[in-house]
A = this chain, B = another copy of it.
Amino acid sequence: MTFTDLKLTNAFFRDNFIGPKSDRPTVTVMRDGFAEVTLQTGRQHSRPGNMVSGPTQMALADTVAYVTIFTKLGITPMAVTSSLNVSFLRPCIGPSMRAEGTLVKLGQTLGVTDVRIFGEGRDAPSAIATVTYALPK
């Protein structure tokens, strides 16, 4: 199957992630094995140096990987992150950012997603990550 319903997916995040609304990303693209997620960044996402913080970038990487799994399995709440490896390459500057995820393997128990994070209007990624999700049976 391929599941690419942006409306349902964004509703899932709205209903299930309880933090401040300003922390909730928007899923903007879903294709077979690919997703894009964006976030409007504010002062609460900054770190000294006026850059988007590492944890904000990691949270977005984690989310986009989750959504790439959804494109194959549908909304799968109990998929859980098994590991995340991120390298920060250059400052991430807002006021918006986006993450692109490409699923590079979907096995029976694990899904592995290659992620790139970009500050607003940038072509060079601020960070690259590999995110592995454990899939429910």
Contact = CB atoms under 8 A, between A and B. Distances in A.
A87 B77 contact: no
A84 B86 contact: yes
A77 B55 contact: no
Please tell me how many copies of the chain the complex holds: 4
Interface string A75-116: 001101111111111100000000000001100011010100
A28 interface: no
B78 A82 contact: no
Contacts of A132: 82-83, 87
Given A58-B55, A114-B128, A87 B78 contact: no
Contact of A83 (B20, B47, B87, B104): B87
Given A84-B85, A89-B104, A89-B112, 20 more contacts: A17-B47, A18-B44, A48-B78, A49-B77, A49-B78, A54-B84, A55-B55, A55-B58, A55-B62, A58-B58, A58-B62, A58-B84, A81-B88, A83-B86, A85-B85, A85-B86, A85-B130, A89-B105, A90-B105, A110-B134
Q: Across chains A and B, which 9 residue pairs bring their CB atoms closest together, nearest first?
A: A55-B59, A19-B44, A48-B77, A89-B105, A54-B81, A85-B85, A83-B87, A109-B109, A18-B43
